[in-house]
Structure 1
Amino acid sequence: MALTKKIQSSMGLEIPEAYIKIDSLSGNKNMLQINVKTYVSQTAAQEDRVPVEDSYKSFTPSVEDEAANFIKQGYEYLKTLPEYAGAIDVLE
């Protein structure tokens, strides 16, 4: 899974279909830290190109029986943040 969205990078580059991917996560049931990488396209990510953005975000995951896995929760959390509002799921 990943997200796609039109963004403007911190360097001022407008990217019409940025590909936003959780690269890794670490933590425990109290706090998860996710490494979020943004690429100019899905192809760029698949070719292991350098991301245009690389950031870390933290959230408290749900550990309820019916809760989604931590990666899915990470993407749902990202969509609550202003910089990722309106992002569209990319199912792989």
Structure 2
Amino acid sequence: MLTEIFLHSKEYWSLVEVGIPTAAEGVDLTEGQSKAIEDKKLKNLKTKNYLFQPIHRSIPETILNKDTINDIWDSLKQKYQEMAGGKCAQLQAL
């Protein structure tokens, strides 16, 4: 939740939800459209950096092969939900 709030404050959350727009194959982009896509790619890299910093060292191996922040976020969400589910099961067994 803290990471989500942080990404909202940096105005990067749309990358998590929507991803990076891409041009359709064979479509000529204006200079402005090309620049906008390149800016989103740079923001995607910055957001990856923000996500990698606070996570446990065992987690990156599951997300290093993901290209977009959207894919990384989904993977992290799934991983942490699995971890939380395991802890709940352990607590219930006690």
Same fold? TM cut 0.5: no
Query: Which structure has the highest strand share of the two?
Result: 1
TM-score normalised over the length of structure 1: 0.26
Which structure's CA Rg is the greater one?
A: 2
Query: Which structure has the highest helix share of the two?
Result: 2
